[in-house]
Copies of this chain bind each other. A is one copy, B any other.
Amino acid sequence: MSGTDGQKQGSRVIFNISKEKNFPDWFGEIVKVAELADIRYGVKGFTPFMPWSVISMEIMYDLYEAALQRKGHLPMIFPTLIPESNLRREAQHVEGFTPQVFWIREIGDGEELEERLALRPTSETAIYPMYALWVRSWRDLPMKRYQRASVFRSEVKSTRPFLRGREFLWIESHNVYATHEEAKAQVREDLETTKEVVTGELGIPVMVFRRTQWDKFPGGVDTYAADTLMPDGKLIQLPSTHDLGDNFARAFDIKYLNKDNEMVYAYQTCYGPAISRIYGAMIAVHGDDRGLRLPFKVAPYQVVIVPIVKSSTVEQVMNYARQIEDCLKESGLRVHLDDREQTPGWKYNFWEMKGVPVRVQVGPREVKDRTATVFRRDLLTKETIALDKLEEYIWELGADMDRTLREQAEARFEGLIVDAWSLEEIDKALDEGKVARVPFCTTEMAGRECAEIIKEETGGDVRGTRIDVEERAEGTCVACGKSAGAVVYIARSY
């Protein structure tokens, strides 16, 4: 991985921006100085991702794909282009996505297509006509598949690298079942997968909601989504999973011969973890005022070795540093020896900004004592470790650091939710960066107007009802005063 050690050696490396007080600046600046992405590409919402973020995102893809494969999903790869007629087969779906579609009509020097092709905004309408051919009998079910892909949506909201782009990186899993019950079980499995990967591996805590009927996936029956809390007090949606019922099966004619020899419609689900967005949330949640704090599991370099040399000791120290490098690499760690000409202090700042979890410092004293000084990025503390214990120590430290990042993030969730019984109380809660739990008339379409009132009066969005907690509605809707049918959560959000 040589070359990721910052090409611009003269550039600013003492990063010092308050993440809590000024999150937009913090985010924009860390994306730039840590060389994660470059916003100067020149097409709104399209951003080249640079090696320091891509290496981590590739590991995140691996973690996610491994989890899906363990649960029986197989990879496939579908075309990026979808005929317009496919897109039009499910009425709500086309209505929901058409405003965001990039269309292709022209080829080469003026050839015109008979039918426009859409750049996929999501792939239901590419995949399901083929599923209609592939699913024949109950023996073919369940069909659990996924693809890694980039998708294209001309967002009207303002774009930001990783968090909201017009092209973003994701995985989309598309599944077919014989019964609605099995499809619903898949939805629960997807939510478990979210918790396993997003929280378990990456340390990002989430709250899981069933979205309202006006905020669900266009064409589906129900949408369930995991939200996390950003440093500016807003919620951001991480993976969502959709119970499609048999809506798409009817639109795309996905039928199977059941055991009674009848052709019946199948039931479907889809699930879409957006790797680039999860990466953006991850750096936002874990970063501090000095820059990135990358989880040990996904850091491009898990360990950086900084030699402390004077001209009289250079050979001795460098040999010792190389010996440590070899030994740690041997054990499977992603290690980098920083032998550039800058001072150790410059390098400390640089690698703290880049978020490398572990720094190993070695100078004449360490050579003499056969030790190493080990600095941990999460707590900014250091310890002296004997050389023969170093490898084992770092592996344990890595696991401990990932646990620490997760616990720190979870601590921010505590006390986050406050009950509110009126628009004023909601407003107050949101101003304090909290999430309001409120009685609400209904999450069916009839409740939409009340949500609009809340949005107008407080700036908060109805995120839906919790499914990981049982809650009974009491009292009256905060907006219309009718008897409350649901407990919903209100938050400012992305």
Interchain CB contact under 8 A, A75 and B58: yes
Contact of A48 among B54, B58, B78, B86 (CB under 8 A): B78
Contacts of A100 in B (CB 8 A): 107-108
Complex Cα distance A69/B1, Å?
7
Interchain CB contact under 8 A, B43 and A117: yes
* CB 8 Å contact bits of A92-120 with B (1 = contact, 0 = none): 00000011111111111101000011010
Q: Does A47 contact B (CB under 8 A)?
A: yes
Which of the candidate stretches A137-145, A228-236, A397-405, A459-467 sits at the interface with the other chain? A137-145
Closest chain B CB from A49 CB (angstroms): 4
Contact of A130 among B38, B83, B103 (CB under 8 A): B38
Q: A55-B74, A79-B47, A104-B103 are in contact. Are A42 and B129 (CB under 8 A)?
A: yes
Interchain CB contact under 8 A, B107 and A154: yes
Complex Cα distance A41/B105, Å?
18
A46's nearest neighbour on chain B, judged by CB, is: B79
Complex Cα distance A494/B100, Å?
39
Contact of A81 among B46, B86, B107 (CB under 8 A): B46
- What count of chain A residues pass the 8 Å CB interface test? 67
Q: Does A150 contact B (CB under 8 A)?
A: yes
Interface of A is mostly: mixed
Interchain CB contact under 8 A, A40 and B133: yes
| Number of chain copies forming the complex | 2
Complex Cα distance A69/B59, Å?
14
Complex Cα distance A126/B102, Å?
18
Complex Cα distance A129/B43, Å?
12
Q: A78-B48, A81-B167 are in contact. Are A104 and B119 (CB under 8 A)?
A: yes
Which of the candidate stretches A4-12, A196-204, A317-325, A377-385 sits at the interface with the other chain? A4-12
Complex Cα distance A79/B8, Å?
23
Interchain CB contact under 8 A, A72 and B3: yes
Complex Cα distance A8/B117, Å?
31
Complex Cα distance A100/B143, Å?
36
Chain A positions 142-189 with a Cβ under 8 Å from a chain B Cβ: 143-145, 150, 152, 154, 167, 169
Interchain CB contact under 8 A, B102 and A41: no
Q: Does A469 contact B (CB under 8 A)?
A: no
Interchain CB contact under 8 A, B103 and A107: yes
Contact of A101 among B9, B83, B108, B116 (CB under 8 A): B108
Q: Does A2 contact B (CB under 8 A)?
A: yes
Contacts of A101 in B (CB 8 A): 107-108
Complex Cα distance A2/B141, Å?
12
Q: Does A50 contact B (CB under 8 A)?
A: yes
Interchain CB contact under 8 A, A3 and B167: no
Contacts of A80 in B (CB 8 A): 80, 119, 150, 152, 167
* CB 8 Å contact bits of A78-90 with B (1 = contact, 0 = none): 1111010010000
Contacts of A46 in B (CB 8 A): 79, 81
Contact of A79 among B108, B111, B167 (CB under 8 A): B167
Contacts of A116 in B (CB 8 A): 106
Q: Does A76 contact B (CB under 8 A)?
A: yes
**Could you list 30 examples of A-B contacts with CB < 8 Å?**
A1-B69, A2-B72, A3-B143, A7-B134, A7-B136, A7-B139, A8-B140, A38-B134, A40-B130, A41-B126, A41-B129, A42-B86, A43-B79, A48-B76, A48-B77, A48-B130, A49-B76, A51-B145, A54-B75, A54-B77, A55-B74, A80-B152, A98-B108, A98-B109, A99-B109, A102-B106, A102-B117, A104-B104, A105-B105, A119-B119
Extra contacts besides A48-B78, A100-B108, A105-B106 (4): CB < 8 Å: A9-B139, A42-B83, A43-B83, A119-B119
Write the residues of chain A forming the contact surface with B, with a CB cutoff of 8 angstroms: 1-4, 7-9, 38, 40-43, 46-51, 54-55, 57-58, 69, 72, 74-81, 83, 86, 98-109, 111, 116-117, 119, 126-127, 129-130, 133-134, 136, 139-140, 143-145, 150, 152, 154, 167, 169
